[in-house]
Amino acid sequence: MNPKSLVTIILGLMLAGGGCGTARAGATFDAIKARGTVVCGVHTGSPGFSAPDAQGVWRGLDVDLCRGIAAAMFGDANKTRYVPTTSQQRFTALQSGEVDVLTRNTTLTLTRDTALGLNFAGVNFYDGQAFIVKTRLGVKSAKELGGATVCVQQGTTGELNLADYFRSLRVSVQPVVLERIEDGIAAFVAGRCDAFTADGSQLAAIRVSAIPNPDDAVVLPERISKEPLGPVVRHGDDQWNDIVRWVLLAMIEAEELGISQSNVDEMLKSPNPAIQRFLGVVPGFGKALGVDERWAYEVIKQVGNYGDSFDRHLGKSSPVKLERGLNDLWTRGGLMYALPLR
């Protein structure tokens, strides 16, 4: 074949496919753009992660991620709709198209990431399964729970973790399996179970928000599993997966760069090339994702960086007052590490 003809064919194929460096629209991305809102599957009520406040406004770390996605897509973090889902319903809601993305505490596992036709777009909270007990029982360790009744939520990784942990100890417990976390909390408060098991962060939030006197309950020190929690999308739309992934990473990157909700406008004047690219002063990232060049600016301006969100809902500015721990930046001994935005 004539070399000129070969070059012509290659260029034609590149143009037909959208060229290099420009996002190609996918079905989910297009549907969301046409609809004008991002529909997020959230928890039915997990304080600090996703729960309605007294005015019915959804708030939490996972809600902020949903709002960040909307800010990137539309320049407006309020263009969202929230669909509460139980642990059993959540994957069906995503698979069926009822929701665009799960932004609810969902553990990334091999089978969930493969066999269910789903993709995890990252990790926005590193957690581990724990136990909460009544203080009056005098229990100091999960290893002392032999013979106890333990409430656990149906359809979670917690069911198998609970069975595996006590089987490995050759200790017997009696699981009380309930559909919703609210049912588990109510059963624990009412004394139907001696202990309640869930992610440690959830239990810490439950202790201060749902136990009438928080001093009446204690979260035991053991973490019996790894629970990397993150947003989930359907297989088959890489562009939508890219948007969700890079919004999460942008919130982490902003904290690394020292860009916060309070100083983002001032940071527009920074001579730092990385900050200029990040905030869209130097264009390119928006084109690569198929959104406005100021997408990251809008995320941070309207929602904040990862640390802003954590502090507001789970950390020092919240009733929960969790330490950052594993969820601190890698530069401070945590696991939060933004992939290169270049």
Q: Can you name the residues that pair with 41 across neighbouring β-strands? A: 83, 102
How much is the average pLDDT of 326-335?
98
- pLDDT for 19 beyond 90: no
pLDDT digits (tens, 9 = 90+) for 171-186: 999 999 998 888 999 9
Same domain, 268 and 241: yes
Are residues 295 and 253 in contact, defined by beta-carbon separation less than 8 angstroms? no
pLDDT digits (tens, 9 = 90+) for 257-300: 999 999 999 999 999 999 999 999 999 999 999 999 999 999 99
Same domain, 70 and 162: no
Same domain, 174 and 187: yes
- Residue range(s) defining the domain that contains residue 105: 23-126+229-317
Q: What is the mean pLDDT of the chain?
A: 92
- pLDDT for 14 beyond 50: no
Structural domain includes residue 38: yes
For residues 167 and 104, give the distance between their C-alpha atoms in angstroms, rounded to a whole number. Answer: 29
Same domain, 122 and 259: yes
What the block records as the tokens of 246 is 């890079």
Same domain, 138 and 105: no
pLDDT of residue 25: 55
How much is the average pLDDT of 319-340?
96
Structural domain includes residue 121: yes
How much is the average pLDDT of 217-229?
96
pLDDT of residue 10: 40
pLDDT digits (tens, 9 = 90+) for 90-146: 999 999 999 999 999 999 999 999 999 999 999 999 999 999 999 999 999 999 999
Are residues 32 and 240 in contact, defined by beta-carbon separation less than 8 angstroms? yes
pLDDT of residue 24: 54
pLDDT of residue 237: 87
Are residues 247 and 72 in contact, defined by beta-carbon separation less than 8 angstroms? yes
pLDDT digits (tens, 9 = 90+) for 52-89: 999 999 999 999 999 999 999 999 999 999 999 998 89
For residues 87 and 157, give the distance between their C-alpha atoms in angstroms, rounded to a whole number. Answer: 10
Structural domain includes residue 149: yes
Same domain, 234 and 288: yes
What the block records as the tokens of 172 is 């017997």
- Domain boundary residue, one of 168, 190, 225: 225
Q: Can you name the residues that pair with 132 across neighbouring β-strands? A: 196, 219
Number of domains in the chain: 2
What the block records as the tokens of 81 is 């709709």
pLDDT of residue 203: 94
Domain of 204: which CATH number?
Answer: 3.40.190.10
pLDDT digits (tens, 9 = 90+) for 148-176: 999 999 988 899 999 999 999 999 999 99
Sheet holding 232-234, edge to edge: 80-85, 38-43, 101-102, 232-234, 118-120
Structural domain includes residue 117: yes
Residue 299 φ/ψ region, left for φ over 0, alpha for ψ in the -120 to 50 degree band, beta for the rest: alpha
- pLDDT for 21 beyond 50: no
- Domain boundary residue, one of 173, 206, 225: 225
Neighbours of 89 (CB within 10 A): 16
Same domain, 242 and 212: no
For residues 11 and 45, give the distance between their C-alpha atoms in angstroms, rounded to a whole number. Answer: 52
For residues 156 and 179, give the distance between their C-alpha atoms in angstroms, rounded to a whole number. Answer: 10
Is residue 288 classed as helix, strand or coil in its secondary structure? helix
Is residue 232 classed as helix, strand or coil in its secondary structure? strand
Structural domain includes residue 115: yes
- pLDDT for 220 beyond 70: yes
Cα torsion angle, 227, 298, 78, 113, sign: negative
pLDDT of residue 305: 98
For residues 183 and 235, give the distance between their C-alpha atoms in angstroms, rounded to a whole number. Answer: 32
Same domain, 156 and 171: yes
Same domain, 107 and 167: no
Structural domain includes residue 262: yes
- pLDDT for 11 beyond 60: no
Q: At 277, which amino acid appears?
A: R
- Domain boundary residue, one of 172, 200, 225: 225
Q: Kindly indicate the confidence band of residue 12, based on its pLDDT and cuts at 50, 70 and 90.
A: very low
Structural domain includes residue 6: no
Same domain, 178 and 147: yes
For residues 47 and 49, give the distance between their C-alpha atoms in angstroms, rounded to a whole number. Answer: 6
Same domain, 72 and 122: yes
Q: Give the residue among 153, 124, 150, 129 at the shortest CA–CA distance from 139.
A: 150
210 or 4: which carries more pLDDT confidence?
A: 210
How much is the average pLDDT of 202-216?
92
How much is the average pLDDT of 246-259?
98
Same domain, 106 and 179: no
Longest dimension (CA), the chain: 86
- pLDDT for 187 beyond 60: yes
pLDDT of residue 159: 92
